[in-house]
Amino acid sequence: MITVEKREQIRRAYFLEDKSVRKIARELRCSRETVKKAIASAEPTAYTLTASREAPMLGPYNCPFA
């Protein structure tokens, strides 16, 4: 996941400085797929879990100091 600042750097380099996707990826040390995703949307994507988490099963708690 890239930061908002890095996304802005990518978009600035592509749209204002007319740099290629490959050159931006090389300069900012990220993949070309990441650069393409940043160019495609101005808003960062929201993080979502791929699978739901199970609720923890807690047993009775015995306090050793009581």
Each residue's pLDDT tens digit, 30-63: 999 999 999 998 887 787 888 888 877 777 777 7
pTM over 0.85: no
Helices (H), 2-59: 4-15, 21-28, 32-40
Residue 66: predicted pLDDT: 61
Q: Judging by beta carbons within 10 Å of its beta carbon (0-12, 13-18, 19+), is residue 6 exposed, middle or buried? A: middle
5-33 pLDDT, tens digit each: 999 999 999 999 999 999 999 999 999 99
